[in-house]
Amino acid sequence: MKLLLAVFVLAGASVQSQMITQNFGTGANQFSIDFVSIGNAGNSSYNGTDFVGKSYSAGAVSYSFYLGKFEISRDAMIKASLSGATGYNLANMTSQGGNGLNRPATGISWTEAARFVNWLNTSSGYQSPYKFDSNGNLQLWTASDSGYNPNNLFRNSLAKFVIPNADEWFKGAYNSTSGQWFKYTTGSNTAPTSVFNGTSEGTAVYLKGPNNGPADIDKAGGLSPWGTMGQGGNVGEWIETASDGLNDNPNEMRIWRGGTWFDADVYLDRDHYYEFTPEITNTPFGLRVAMVPEPSTISLLALGAAALVLSKRRRA
């Protein structure tokens, strides 16, 4: 299927990213995903201490990429299923977060999220990022596979659409177009204002009762500096990365971030993340999709960043 692109610049002083809309599905079951550009390739990582007192570094990404403006909706996953996507249970999506079509697709496991993302690629003519055997078990990519990346055995480097890894997600959530890091996804070091829904600047959907959310994906609070919505609050979001950061064991625990509509503000900040088995379902976890450059583009960006660093060192 040929992808349809619409590129434009978001208005507003705090949001400088381009947005691209890509279409998926067929006929009456076509749906779109909006992506915002995350630039400033080769940025430095954020170095901090997490909620258990452990030092960590996150958010350094050597290439420019795109991150979904919104969480994936139930409507998108239903239409994908009607267009041929398989490997996830639509019934689970009503177990956490209600049955509104424009609400986030919650209740899915990491594995189900990976199968949905695989379909986004294969239905668009790209390589699947995640390798499954005939029994539906995740496998590691090996050196004999085209697109093998020794630094990430979960993700095939020839894929276009992926579950964001820990650095990609963190940068989109807590970084800014100027390179500044913030504690919360609303571009502030102060907790956002709690709302049931809406798009006002500095707000997020959290501190609500279990039966009072989540909000629709496009009513999930104010935007991040890059232009994403709902990375803090609304629903927790699966991250591609394993809990130890190595992505070398298919059975490892996976990370989720961002907090949910019924969490306190502490769960929304940059120092909080949690781990669950990739097969767990019936949770308030959803999915945001990233769109990454092709390997040749990544290589050129990485080389450019390295050359810039070398040039600065020579001038020093």
| Percent of the chain residues topping a pLDDT of 70 | 86
Q: How confident is the model at residue 91 (pLDDT cuts 50, 70, 90)?
A: confident
| Number of domains composing the chain | 1
**Rounded Cα gap, residues 24 and 3, in angstroms:** 7
Q: Is the pLDDT of residue 151 over 70?
A: yes
Give me the residues paired with residue 48 across strands. 56
27-50: average pLDDT: 97
The confidence score (pLDDT) of residue 99 equals: 75
230-243: average pLDDT: 97
Mean pLDDT estimate for the chain? 89
- Which segment of 5-19, 117-131, 200-214, 232-246 scores lowest on mean pLDDT? 5-19
| Alpha-carbon separation of residue 51 from 190, 237, 266, 267, 272 (angstroms) | 17, 18, 9, 9, 6
H/E segment holding residue 276: strand 274-276
239-245: average pLDDT: 96
Which one has a higher pLDDT value, 77 or 297?
77
**Rounded Cα gap, residues 234 and 224, in angstroms:** 14
Torsion, Cα of 160, 163, 168, 169 (10° steps): 150
Q: Is the pLDDT of residue 24 over 90?
A: yes
**Rounded Cα gap, residues 72 and 74, in angstroms:** 7
Give me the residues paired with residue 221 across strands. 204
Q: pLDDT per residue over 51-74, tens digit each?
A: 999 999 999 999 999 999 999 999
Give me the residues paired with residue 285 across strands. 236
Count of residues in the chain: 316
Q: Is the pLDDT of residue 158 over 50?
A: yes
The confidence score (pLDDT) of residue 199 equals: 98
Q: Note down the domain range covering 278.
A: 5-315
**Rounded Cα gap, residues 241 and 227, in angstroms:** 23
The confidence score (pLDDT) of residue 98 equals: 67
The confidence score (pLDDT) of residue 163 equals: 98
**Contact criterion met (CB below 8 Å) for 41 and 204:** no
**Rounded Cα gap, residues 241 and 255, in angstroms:** 6
Torsion, Cα of 102, 187, 237, 257 (10° steps): -160
Helices 110-122/74-82 angle, 10° precision: 60
- Which segment of 8-22, 26-40, 285-299 scores lowest on mean pLDDT? 8-22
Q: pLDDT per residue over 95-126, tens digit each?
A: 666 679 999 999 999 999 999 999 999 999 99
Q: pLDDT per residue over 129-146, tens digit each?
A: 999 999 999 999 999 999
pTM over 0.85: yes
Helical ranges in 99-150 per DSSP H: 110-122
Residue type, 72: I
CATH code, domain with 119:
3.90.1580.10
Q: Which of 67, 113, 57, 63 is nearest to 88 (CA)?
A: 113
Which one has a higher pLDDT value, 210 or 123?
123
Q: How confident is the model at residue 1 (pLDDT cuts 50, 70, 90)?
A: very low
Q: How confident is the model at residue 294 (pLDDT cuts 50, 70, 90)?
A: low
The confidence score (pLDDT) of residue 95 equals: 63
Q: Is the pLDDT of residue 300 over 50?
A: no
The confidence score (pLDDT) of residue 211 equals: 87
- Pick left, alpha or beta for residue 219 (phi over 0 → left; psi -120 to 50 → alpha; otherwise beta): alpha
Buried b (16+ CB within 10 A) or exposed e, 250-278: bebbbbbbbbbbbbebebbbbbbbbebeb
Q: How confident is the model at residue 297 (pLDDT cuts 50, 70, 90)?
A: very low
